[in-house]
Amino acid sequence: MLLPLGTDRPLKRPTLVTHGLIGACTLVFIAQMLVAPSGGGNEGDVVRAMDGLVLRPREITPWTFVTYQFLHGDLLHLLGNMLFLWVFGPNVEDRIGRAWFLVFYLLGGVAAGVAHCFVSPNPVVGASGAISAVTGAYLVLFPRTTIRVLLWFFIIGFWRIPATWFIGFAIAKDLFFSLSGGGGEIAFGAHLGGYAFGAGVAIGLLWLRLIPREQYDLFTIGRQAQRRRAFKSVAASGDAPWVANTQRSRVHKKSAKDQAKDDARAKAVSEIVRLVREERIDEAGKAYRAALDEHGPIVLSRGQQLELANRLFAAGDAEAAGIAYDAFLAKHPKDAESPRVRLMLGLISARHLNDPVRAKSLLRDTADAPGLTADERALAATLLSELG
């Protein structure tokens, strides 16, 4: 058994809505026990005490898609759900805002209820569908965090494991039991519907920029990987986006649309170079990322690209610096500065982007590369030691 106890993601503001939801579910459960004929000693009596609030797929009433989220079958059901909400809710609330988190939570429960109605005719109660939506969003927003867990399986101890492993295992387990028909009375369809809703909403919010992107969220990680593949693909094909392809231009006359795209790309490159020369590094980083989003792979001349990357890193924009260093390596993989660029990328991946796998790959290739100073080799060794 793995019980989550907390995350390593710090909060920027006090948690209110999550604690309020925990309090509301607890008060409703107390009310269930008070009005139950058995005084709360029988699970069926506890649920039947507020029968009109239970979600019944065969007798659907609209309000029960919300009310069922606050009912629980027994004390362990309540405690398990509230533990997961207490661990994962605060970070998601902090990221999307209190009011929107409340809306998201309730809609997540509704989506989970709809999913349950499609796959099962059985009545359902509990907050687990809404909480699954929260954990699905957590997976997208904070995939590089770690979860502190209590392991209770042959040995008992406290461990830290990546959030992707913990939540991924929970999703895989629910999917397995849903497909196999096992798991007793647990509403696995509601869980899976909640995960899908939460992850989908989080990706949509990031894609539409309704919440600010971070270098650690799943959307940005995916974009960075896509950019690296695009840079490598373009460099391998020889169809370089940083120079004009004169041979092709003799054979094919460009359309007005293609010419407009080339002009816009050239203008974007000129603007980036100007901002770097004027030492307006924050603006240069924003302009560079905007140009990549709009025009695809863009690499400046050798010296300008390296200067851009170095300036961005010195200014504290490690994410943009990493993108710029990646672009340099794609264009100049055998350049004399490539070992140092790989070292910088290894440092950024290890200490800023929380990507130990890529960091190790870069640093192992760099440790014995010619041209590095003794201090640079020592830095590579230190980083590899930190990564374990």
**Domain closes at, from 207, 228, 263:** 207
Band (pLDDT 50/70/90 cuts) for residue 56 is: very high
Which of the two residues, 163 and 368, has the higher pLDDT score?
A: 163
Is there a single domain that holds both residue 229 and residue 171? no
Q: What secondary structure letter does DSSP report for 148?
A: E
Asked whether the predicted pLDDT for residue 154 surpasses 80, the reply is: no
Identify whether the C-beta of residue 66 lies closer than 8 Å to the C-beta of residue 109.
yes
C-alpha distances out from residue 361 to 185, 346, 364, Å: 46, 8, 5
Of 219, 215, 232, 216, give the one whose Cα is nearest residue 297.
232
Q: Can you give the pLDDT at residue 254?
A: 58
Is there a single domain that holds both residue 74 and residue 108? yes
The DSSP secondary structure of 152-187, one letter per residue, reads EESEEEEEEEEHHHHHHHHHHHHHHHHHHT-STT--
Is there a single domain that holds both residue 247 and residue 330? yes
Identify whether the C-beta of residue 364 lies closer than 8 Å to the C-beta of residue 349.
no
Q: Can you give the pLDDT at residue 199?
A: 96
Is there a single domain that holds both residue 14 and residue 161? yes
Mean pLDDT over 63-88 rounds to 95
Q: Residue 347 corresponds to which amino acid?
A: L
CATH of the domain at 163: 1.20.1540.10
Range 258-293 burial, b when 16+ CB lie within 10 A, else e? eeeeeeebeebbebbbebbeeeebeebbebbbebbe
Is there a single domain that holds both residue 169 and residue 259? no
State pLDDT tens for residues 280-296: 878 887 888 788 777 77
In angstroms, rounded to a whole number, what is the distance separating the alpha carbons of residues 311 and 322? 11
- Report the Cα–Cα distance between both ends of the chain, in Å, rounded: 27
Position 265 in a domain: yes
Number of domains in the chain: 2
Is there a single domain that holds both residue 251 and residue 379? yes
Position 381 in a domain: yes
CATH of the domain at 316: 1.25.40.10
Asked whether the predicted pLDDT for residue 366 surpasses 90, the reply is: no
Enclosing H/E stretch for 6: strand 2-7
Of 71, 210, 201, give the one whose Cα is nearest residue 135.
201
Which of 121-135, 138-152, 316-330 reaches the highest mean pLDDT? 121-135
Position 75 in a domain: yes
Q: Can you give the pLDDT at residue 243?
A: 45
Of 302, 299, 243, 307, give the one whose Cα is nearest residue 275.
307
Is there a single domain that holds both residue 180 and residue 228? no
Is there a single domain that holds both residue 249 and residue 346? yes
Q: Nearest-5° angle of CA 369, CA 229, CA 284?
A: 85
Is there a single domain that holds both residue 332 and residue 238? yes
Position 145 in a domain: yes
CA pseudo-torsion sign 91, 95, 100, 105: negative
**Domain closes at, from 186, 207, 228:** 207
Position 309 in a domain: yes
State pLDDT tens for residues 221-260: 777 666 666 666 655 555 554 444 444 444 455 567 767 7
Is there a single domain that holds both residue 58 and residue 22? yes
Is there a single domain that holds both residue 234 and residue 170? no
Position 213 in a domain: no
The domain in which residue 321 lies consists of: 218-387
**Domain closes at, from 207, 241, 270:** 207
In angstroms, rounded to a whole number, what is the distance separating the alpha carbons of residues 80 and 95? 24
Position 212 in a domain: no
Per-residue three-class SS string for 179-211: HHCCCCCCCHHHHHHHHHHHHHHHHHHHHCCCC
Is there a single domain that holds both residue 200 and residue 249? no
